[in-house]
Amino acid sequence: MAAITKRSGLLKIEAGHGGFGAEVTGLDLTRPLSDAVRTEIRSAWADYAVLSFRDQPLTLDQFEAFTLTIGPFGRDPFIQPMPGRPNVLELRREPDEKAVNFGAGWHSDWSFLETPPAATLLRSEVTPPVGGETCFADGRRAYDDLSPAMKARLAPMKAVHSAGRAYGVQGVFARETEKRTLKILVSDEADTQLSHPLVRTHPVTGRKALYISPVYTVGIEGLPEKEGQALLGSLFAHMIQPQYVYKHVWTQGAVLLWDNRCTMHLAKGGYDGHLRVMHRTTVAGEVPV
C-alpha cells in the first residue's frame, strides 16, 4: 500500500499502487452504518475496485446485512449454498483435501450470466497460517495502456462467455476424482454461451476496462477460433503483468469487497494440510455495456 486518503472525514483509506486496491480502516462493520458511510464505501469501491476491511468479526447475519448495503443479492449458479442461507456460499477446504483449490484460475465471477454480479464479498472465518492469497488484475489500467490502434480494434468486439469449461458435464469439476467439500452442481446448462462487450464501460465511473477472463471467455464473436484465442491469449498475458496485479494477504476476520465489472481474480493455494473456511456473497449487477 502506498498513499493515504480521507473521504469527507468518514473513512480512512490506504490505497495501493495506481489506485488499485485499498484498505479501509476506522470502521466497525458489526454495527449499522449511516447513509453517509454507506455512500462513501460504495464510492471508494467504484474508485479502487477492491476494498479490504480488517478485523471485522462478523456473524453471518451481519455479513449478509453488510452485503445489502452495497446492493441486492446476486445469483450464484452451479454451487450449493449454505443450508438456510440461499445467498451465502461456504468455501470450505478441509486439511486432507487434495482437489485443486476453488477459484484457482483467473476469472470474473459469473461473467457468463446476462447480468453478472457487480460485486463479490468474501469473509475469512478460518484463515490458514500459510498460503491462500487472492490476486486481482486491474482491467482498467490494462486497457488504458493499450495502443490507440489496439483500442480501436477492440472497441466493436464482443467476447463470448460460458461456464462450460468449469461446470459443464465435460468440464473440470465433472472430471474431478478427488473429494471436495464444496458442493459443485455440474449441469449441461453451463455450456450455454453469451456475449458481452470485450471492453466494458463502468456504470458509475465511466472508465473502460477489459472484460474477459481465461476461465469464462471462450472466444470472440466473428473471429475464427484460432485468431480469437490468439488475441485473447495476448490480452490475458497483458492483464496479469505485475503492474496491474494486487495480491491480498488474508488475516483472520477480514472482509474483502471487489468489483467484478473491471477486475478478474485468482485464488491461490499453498495451504494443504490446513483448514480454510470462507463465506461469500454477491451483489446483483447489470447488463454489461
Three-state secondary-structure class, residue 165: helix
Does residue 148 carry a pLDDT above 80?
yes
C-alpha separations of 45 from 42, 206, 233 in Å: 5, 14, 28
- Mean of pLDDT over the chain: 95
% of residues, the chain, pLDDT over 70: 97
Inter-residue contact 235 to 243 (CB < 8 Å) = no
For residue range 83-116, list pLDDT tens digits in order.
999 999 999 999 999 999 999 999 999 999 999 9
**Alpha-carbon gap, residue 42 to 49, rounded angstroms:** 10
Return the C-alpha cell found at 270: 499453498
pTM of the model: 0.95
Confidence check: pLDDT of 139 > 60: yes
Question: What is the identity of the amino acid at 74?
Answer: G
Domains with residue ranges and CATH for the chain: 74-249+260-283 (3.60.130.10)
User: Among positive and negative, which fits the CA dihedral 50, 282, 249, 132?
Assistant: negative
**CB-side neighbour CA atoms (13 Å) of 114:** 0
> In which band, very low, low, confident or very high, does the pLDDT at 2 lie, cut at 50, 70 and 90?
very low
pLDDT digits (tens, 9 = 90+) for 7-65: 556 789 999 888 999 999 989 999 999 999 999 999 999 999 999 999 999 999 999 99
Yes or no: say if 161 and 216 are a contact pair by the CB < 8 Å rule.
yes
| Cα angle: 10, vertex 15, 20; to 5 degrees | 125
Condensed to tens digits (0 to 9), the pLDDT of residues 189-237 reads 999 999 999 999 999 999 999 999 999 999 999 999 999 999 999 999 9
The reported pLDDT for the residue numbered 17 is 80
Question: Quick one: cell of 20?
Answer: 488499485
Specify whether the CB–CB gap between 244 and 34 falls below 8 A: no
For 49, counting Cβ atoms within 10 Å of its Cβ (0-12 exposed, 13-18 middle, 19+ buried), the class is buried
